Amino acid sequence: MLNSRIVFRADGNSNIGLGHVSRCLALYDILKKSYKEVIFAIRNSDLKITQTVNSQCTVYLIPDSLSQEEELDILCKKLLREDDHLVLDGYHFKTEYQKVVKQNVSKLIVVDDEANWHIVGDLVINHGGSTLKKKYSIEPYTKLLLGLSFCLIRKEFLEAACDKLMQKKESSLLICMGGSDTPNNSLKLLKSVAKLNIFNSITIITGSAYLHSLSLNHFIEQNAEKDISHLRNLNPEQLVSIIKNTEVCIASASTISLEIASVHAGLIIGISASNQIALHDTLIESGCAVSLNNINNLSEDQIAILIRKFISQDTVNEILKNQRVHFDGKSAERIIHAINSL
């Protein structure tokens, strides 16, 4: 029997990034057949992001001018129902916020990545949280879904996890630092690898919230003799196809790194924000990637030295072997089972 409604509450823009929205849309994709109605409550988000969400489910726009207390009042009086399942993903949904909304819904699901405050939700999903289990403060009834077995990635990437490895384009590199990449690490990385002259082709992928296209494209134009391409706003099928054909990928320790690992490719990850540390540590401990650590603190020359160190067929083969173990394409099944068991 279908559940009545599921409501998602998350925000995304060029300042805070797209991670919260991306994870919720991935969870929506996993759960949409289990509910009669899906609503996405959002505020302070870029127009393109709101349009992306609206193309997949019903959007409930929360006025940006509201205080958190006023937001809660509107949600509880005008949106939420006692038989709803509510998903929260964001750093402003702390313990007191959770307590208020939990009184107005049937089940509360919290998508988290830092374990920085007490959680009163019925279920916590943290696909990078295998290293954080002891840090969590939760209620006796709260269930934890931690680690790569519960990764929140889109169905196209889950399906690709089960595909056979295909022949990859020799000496090919993909750079993808997430949807916003506020520090513009895409350009720093591109300048670093351009100095190495070890890649025959380089592809940079950016998202709708990336604001540095002018400087990135200028560098590419200045290096027209190199095979460098800049692609924007790719759909999942396009991204899967590129990853399948690429030998080595450099990515932020965010959802994009999980998507790459699921499709299987040599993976170098870096931290560009503190909320990426737990996922970074989980991927490194599992052997599914190698690390640049904090990219923001590295010079172009330091990055180039590290990348040269990591680029070997033995290293790539070991990464691919570990990715096959940890990314089996079944995380959606596990998440559905856990939610249906609440």
Residue 222, CB-side half-sphere exposure with 13 Å CA sphere: 10
Give yes or no for residue 63 having a pLDDT over 60.
yes
Give yes or no for residue 131 having a pLDDT over 90.
no
What band does 1 get if pLDDT is binned at 50, 70 and 90? low
Give yes or no for residue 122 having a pLDDT over 90.
yes
Give yes or no for residue 15 having a pLDDT over 80.
no
Rg (CA), the chain: 20
Extract the tokens encoding 77. 């009086």
Give yes or no for residue 81 having a pLDDT over 60.
yes
Q: What is the mean predicted confidence (pLDDT) over 9-21?
A: 82
Gap between the Cα atoms of 150 and 90, Å rounded: 18
Q: What is the mean predicted confidence (pLDDT) over 213-233?
A: 96
Q: What are phi and psi of 97, to 5 degrees?
A: -60, -45
Q: What is the mean predicted confidence (pLDDT) over 267-276?
A: 94
Contact 315, 266 (CB under 8 A): yes
Residue 197 or 103, more confident: 103
Give yes or no for residue 160 having a pLDDT over 70.
yes
Q: What share of the chain is helix, strand, coil (3-state, %, to 5)?
A: 45, 25, 35
Enter the pTM of the model: 0.91
Percentage above 70 pLDDT, the chain? 99
What band does 17 get if pLDDT is binned at 50, 70 and 90? confident
Instruction: Return mean pLDDT, the chain.
Output: 93
Return the amino acid letter for 73.
Answer: D
Task: List, in sequence order, the alpha helices (H) in the chain.
Answer: 19-31, 47-54, 68-74, 95-102, 155-160, 185-196, 213-222, 236-244, 255-263, 277-285, 300-310, 313-326, 331-340
The per-type count for the chain, helices as H runs and strands as E runs, is: 13, 13
What band does 53 get if pLDDT is binned at 50, 70 and 90? confident
What band does 70 get if pLDDT is binned at 50, 70 and 90? very high
Gap between the Cα atoms of 274 and 276, Å rounded: 5
pLDDT at 129: 80
What band does 101 get if pLDDT is binned at 50, 70 and 90? very high
pLDDT digits (tens, 9 = 90+) for 313-326: 899 999 999 999 99
Q: What is the mean predicted confidence (pLDDT) over 150-164?
A: 93
Q: What is the mean predicted confidence (pLDDT) over 31-46?
A: 89
What band does 75 get if pLDDT is binned at 50, 70 and 90? very high
Cα dihedral sign, 239-177-113-262: positive
